[in-house]
Each structure stands twice: as structure tokens, then as C-alpha cells.
Structure 1
Amino acid sequence: MIKDIQIDELWMDFKLLGFYWDSLMGGDTHRVEDAQKLLHKYGLMDADGFWVDQDE
């Protein structure tokens, strides 16, 4: 599913997603949209913020 992504870019995005997760667990809800955009980049969420079925 992941297309044409460099390993260093993937690693940075992974760390960024961890930061967003920590922020969300701390109650910083404005990070939800940022996390959704990052997950959409990798095809894990659609543009509306819903999880994409990986079995299709």
C-alpha cells in the first residue's frame, strides 16, 4: 500500500505520529486533524477521517 516513500521520510512520519498520539492522550485535540492527514498520506484513512479497509 505504501508507494514511493523513502525510509527516512517514513521514519520521520512515524515519529511525528507518535508525537501526535502523545498529544492526543494528553488532551490536545487539535492534533486529530494533523494525525488524520498523516494517516491519509499512507492510505490508512480516507479524506473524511475514516479508516480504509486494507482487505480490499
Structure 2
Amino acid sequence: MGLATLDIVIVLAYLAGIFVLAQWVSREKAGHDKSAEDYFLASKSLPWWAIGASLIAAN
């Protein structure tokens, strides 16, 4: 019992879509240097509710 051709095509299309979306989202902004501080602090751009939700979810 194996996967049908259509199933394989759907899985590959999904993986390709996720890859393209990840590349689009992670594009570098022009003139913006990436650093560890930007990574860990999200460039200090997170709203208070997102930080609070993260704290509640992590505990």
C-alpha cells in the first residue's frame, strides 16, 4: 500500500509552497544589518500583548 501519484504531487506542492513562503518572509530589508540583538529582541518591535501571550504560553 503506497501513496498515489496525486498524493505525492500534493505533498511536494505543499513543501514547495512552504519553502517559497519562508524565503519571501525572510528577505532582508535594504540597509538593515542583522544582529543577535535583532534576533532575540525582534528589533524591539513586538507589541505588549504579543510578549504577554508568549510569557503565558511558555509557563
TM-score, length basis structure 2? 0.36
TM-score, length basis structure 1? 0.38
Q: Please identify which structure carries the higher helix content.
A: 2
Name the structure, 1 or 2, with higher relative contact order (CA <8 Å, separation 6+): 1
